[in-house]
């Protein structure tokens, strides 16, 4: 079945450092890929998405590129802020077929940014 | 604010009991999804409804059931509760295309 693997956390960085959170996936078809963020005590918020190979999703300074050849969707940000401290989830879904849009999540990566 | 509401925010109950979690999707969204988030299992898809009909099932226990009503709100019923059912339960909704899901704030269930 489909699966998503994220790099082990937690990740601790200083403010203005460069961030990379690795995400690789195993899929039987051609999924859409997402990064969700969960701030303490809150639900998940969509951070960015990409629906086909070579698409780049971007939002709030975060970027991720859908790489079909390496089955990866790594999250990057050039300069993190304390307010970026949260749990980040990589996920995939299909727009149709028997999965009907259910999200398959990675295990989540805790990011802590210190001033 | 995602526009998805969930009640209650917190629920504390005892083993063997039954509880009902409620979700109201964003205005106009026909699909509702339920997910369970726990420390050992991570985020797991439970079940999906589309316009009142069950569309997909994930790792949902037989003790759990759900439904979506004509006004599109959904309820997740958990019965014969066990300690291991303690978790955060999220509801999400989406419109056409299934590509983007909007999550509610979750219901934290504690089974004592």
Q: pLDDT tier at A40 (50, 70, 90 boundaries)?
A: confident
Mean pLDDT of all residues in B79-85: 96
- pLDDT > 90: what percent of chain A? 77
pLDDT at A100 over 80: no
Q: pLDDT tier at B26 (50, 70, 90 boundaries)?
A: very high
- With an 8 Å Cβ cutoff, is A17 touching chain B? no
Tens digits of residue pLDDT in B29-61: 999 999 999 988 899 999 999 999 998 899 899
What is the per-residue pLDDT for A9?
82
Q: Contacts from B87-90 at CB under 8 Å and sequence distance 24+?
A: B87/B36, B87/B37, B87/B38, B87/B41, B88/B36, B88/B37, B88/B38, B89/B6, B89/B21, B89/B34, B89/B35, B89/B36, B89/B37, B90/A43, B90/A44, B90/B6, B90/B34, B90/B35, B90/B36, B90/B37, B90/B43
Going by C-beta distance under 8 Å and a sequence separation of 6 or more, which residues neighbour residue B32?
B23, B25, B48, B49, B50, B68, B72, B74, B91, B92, B93
Contact criterion met (CB below 8 Å) for B66 and B58: no
Q: How close, in Å, is residue B98 to chain A by CA atoms? A: 5
What is the per-residue pLDDT for A109?
95
pLDDT at A114 over 90: yes
Q: How many residues does chain A have?
A: 115
CB contact under 8 A, B90 and A43: yes
Q: What is the mean pLDDT of chain A?
A: 92
Residue B105 has its nearest CB partner, among A43, A105, A106, at A43
CA distance B6 to B103: 10
pLDDT at B70 over 60: yes
Mean pLDDT of all residues in B11-21: 97
CA distance between the termini of chain A: 41
Greater model confidence, B100 or B54: B54
Q: Which chain A residue lies closest to B101 (C-alpha atoms)?
A: A46
Tens digits of residue pLDDT in A67-94: 999 999 999 999 999 999 999 999 998 7
- pLDDT > 70: what percent of chain B? 96
Mean pLDDT of all residues in A5-15: 92
Q: Which residues in chain A touch residue B104, judged by CB atoms under 8 angstroms apart?
A: 43
What is the per-residue pLDDT for B59?
84
CB contact under 8 A, B35 and A32: no
pLDDT at B76 over 80: yes
Burial label, B30 (beta-carbon count in 10 A; 0-12, 13-18, 19+)? middle
What is the per-residue pLDDT for A24?
97
Residue B106 has its nearest CB partner, among A32, A43, A107, at A43
Helix-then-strand count for chain A, H and E: 0, 12
Phi, psi of A51 (to 5 degrees): -105, -10
CB contact under 8 A, B98 and A45: no
Q: Which chain A residue lies closest to B33 (C-alpha atoms)?
A: A102
């Amino acid at each position: 079945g489909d699966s998503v693997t994220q790099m082990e956390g937690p990740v601790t960085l200083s403010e203005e450092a460069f961030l990379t959170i690795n995400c690789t996936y195993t899929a039987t078809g051609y999924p859409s890929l997402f990064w969700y963020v969960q701030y303490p005590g809150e639900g998940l918020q969509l951070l960015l998405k990409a629906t086909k190979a070579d698409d780049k999703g971007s939002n709030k300074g975060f970027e991720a590129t859908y790489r079909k050849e390496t089955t990866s969707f790594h999250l990057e940000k050039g300069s993190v802020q304390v307010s970026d401290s949260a749990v980040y989830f990589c996920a995939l879904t299909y727009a149709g077929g028997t999965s009907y849009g259910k999200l398959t999540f990675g295990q989540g990566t805790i990011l802590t940014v210190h001033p | 604010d995602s526009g998805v509401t969930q009640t209650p925010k917190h629920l504390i109950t005892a083993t063997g009991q039954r509880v009902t979690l409620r979700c109201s999707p964003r205005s106009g969204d026909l699909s509702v999804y339920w997910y369970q988030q726990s420390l050992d299992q991570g985020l797991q898809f439970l079940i999906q409804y589309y316009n009142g009909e069950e569309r997909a099932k994930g790792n949902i226990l037989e003790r759990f059931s759900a439904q979506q009503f004509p006004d599109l709100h959904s309820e997740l019923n958990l019965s014969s509760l066990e300690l291991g059912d303690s978790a955060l339960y999220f509801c999400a909704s989406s419109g056409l295309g299934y590509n983007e899901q909007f999550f509610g704030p979750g219901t934290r269930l504690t089974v004592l």
